Structure 1
C-alpha cells in the first residue's frame, strides 16, 4: 500500500499502487546504475557498497525537497538543512564528491506515466514543498517587491545577502588579504596570499599607475586594491562598495595602515560617485552583478570618469561563450541573487561600442580554480570557528559553492577575463606604449 492525497490534501491509503522504495525509484532514474552508495530513511539502499561517496537521505523532508524542486535547488535545500548527509568528504570542501558525481551521474528521463507511477509509489504527499532553509533568498518574482532587477535598491539587497554575512567569517575563509576575487599565481608554488598580491600588482601595472595619479576602484570589497595602489604606487584612490560591512572593515584597514591621506573605502553605489577626472578605473569582480543589459550604461559611466588617455581594467567571471544566461537556481538563491554572466566577447564589444579602445585581454580561469581550492582549504582548517560564527547551514553553502565553482573553472564552463581599455583623446591618441610595459 502507498499514500495519495484526497481533495482536502490529506493522505489516504491507495491499495492499487505497489509501494516503491526510495532506493528503487533512484535506480530507475539512473542510466547505468547509481554511481555512489545511497541509503534512505526507509531502509532501502542503492549503488556500490565500496563507493568512496555515501549519500544518506535522512528524513521525509529531505525527500520532499528533492521531489518538489528537482535538480541543484532541491539538493541544496536538503543538504543545507541537514536532511542529506554526504559522507566521505569534508563539508567545507566536497570537491572530490562533486567530481565523482559530475563524472558518473547520468539521469534518464522517464515518461510522464513512469514519473507519475514512481511518485505514487513513493507517496504523492512527498511532492508538497517544505519551507526553504533560512539561507535561501527569495525567488526572482518575489524580489520585484524590492524593485526592478538591478535597480539601486535591489542591487543593494543582493549585495547585502552575499557580502554582509560576517567579516570574521570572510577573514577565516579568504585569509589575510581579505580578497574575494580571483588571484593570479606567478608560479605553481605560490601561496594564496602571494597570488592575491601579485594580482593587485598586475592590475596596477596594467593601469600604469604612478605617484600622484587618481584611481577609482568600483566594487572595491574590503579595499585590497585600494590599499595596494595607495601603498605601493602612491596614487590617490577612492573605492566604493554596496556592502556596509565591507566598507567599515576596509576603511578601518586604510586608517590602520596610515593611508587615510590618499585612500578611502566608501559605502555606496558606484553610480553615485560624483568625482571624475580619474587617471584609471579598476573594476574587479563587479560586472557579474550589474546585468548584461546594463553593460552599455556601466561602461559609459566609467568612461566618463576618465581623463583622455585614462585606462580601465575590467576583471570578471564570464561564460565560455557569449550567450547570456543566469547563474542557475542554487547560485541565484544561495550565493549571488540576480547574478548574470556572458562571454568576454560581449564585454569587449560593449567597451568598444561606447568608445573605449581595448588594448589587451587575458583569461585567468585556471587561476580561479586554484584560488577556490585555497579558500576551501581555509574553510576546512577553520570549520569549527566558521560554523560557530555563521551556522552550519551557511558554512555548508559556502563549501559546496566554492568546490562546485572550482570544478566549473577547471572544466571550462566559466572563465575569468581581464580586459584592459583606454579612453583615447580627441585626436585618437591612446597614450599607449608600443609594447605592454607590464610584460617586460
Structure 2
C-alpha cells in the first residue's frame, strides 16, 4: 500500500506532548505506520511497530541526511528557514550523516564511548553522585517535610557533569549549556524562540572550542579539534566539529536525564517494585531496562528518508523516496505484540524488559547507551540508599510532562528527601 503524504488528513502530533502514551496508543491503532503532521505543517510517517522499526532502521536505503535525501521540500528550500525543528536536519554530524560519511564521523566520536572508557568513568560517576548528595545534605532540602526538585538537583546535573568530564567543558559553561540543550528538545517553541535558542547554543559551542584551542586537555573536545586540524581524509570541517560536540552532549545527557527521572517516579509510585530491589529479588540493571522500555527517554526521533521507494512486504506499506519518517519509541516500548496486553504496567520481573528500542537500532544505535545504563545503575542505587525515606511531594498523576514529543520527561520532580 502506498500513501501520498501530501494528501488526506494526517494525525496532528501535539507539540506540547500533553500525553505521549495516549497519543502513541492512538497512532498504534491506526497501523504499524501512519502519516502525522509535525509543527510547521511538515507531514511524515510515524512508525510504531517494533518489527517495522527494526527493518527500517537496519535498511541501507533509509538515510538521515536531509541535505541529500529529503525530497524536493528540503533540497529546494521549501521548508521555512526558521522552521522550529530545523536544527535536527541542519546539523552536520554522525546524527544526520549517511553511508561513508556516517562511518567517518561516527568513528571519530566513537572513541568517547568505548567500553573501556565508559567503565573507567564509574569512579567519577560515584564521586559526582556523592558530591550532589553532600550538597543536598548541606541545605534546607533535607529538612523534614522540605520539598526539592530532584530533576534539577540530581537527574539533570549528574549526566551533565559526566558528559562535561568527557568533553572537558569548563564549569562556568555548565548551566548555559544545560539551558540551551533543553531548548533543542522543546517542540512547542515558536520560530523566534527556536532561532534565539540555536544562536545561543552555537555561541556556547564557539566559546568552548576557543577555550579548548587555547588550553587543550585530555578530553574528547580536544581530540576532535585535532581531527579538525588533521590533513587526512578523516578531517572534520568546522561545522562538523561543532555539531559533533553538540551530538556528544546530547547523546551523553538527554537520554540519561529522562531515564533517571522516570525510574525515580516509577519506583516511588510502585512500592512493591522498589521492595524487590531492596530485597535483592530484582537488580538495578532490571530497573534501568524496564524504565527504558516503559518510558522511552526519547519518545519520537526525527527524521529519516528513503533514498528510493522502499516496500515493506510484511505490512504492505511503501515508503516513497524522500518521504520523512519518524520513529515512535514510546509506542514501540509498550507494543502488546512484544510485551503483552499489560505493556503499560511497570514490572521489573517482566521477561521482555530488555527487548526495547530506547537507544535505537542499526547503524545509528546510540553511542551513549552503555554510559546511560552505567549512570542509571550507580545513580539510582546510591539515591535510594542515601535517602531511604524518599517520597514524591505530589501524586504521580500531577507531574507535568516536558513540552516535547521528542524528549520524554517531567518539567519538575518535586520530592521529600526525608520524612
What TM-score comes out, normalization by structure 1 length? 0.25
Q: From the two aligned structures, give the one with the greater helix fraction.
A: 2
Query: When the two structures are superposed, what TM-score results if normalisation uses the length of structure 2?
Result: 0.26
* Higher strand residue share: 1
Larger Cα Rg: Structure 1 or Structure 2?
A: 1
> Which structure's relative contact order is higher, taking Cα pairs within 8 Å and 6+ residues apart?
2
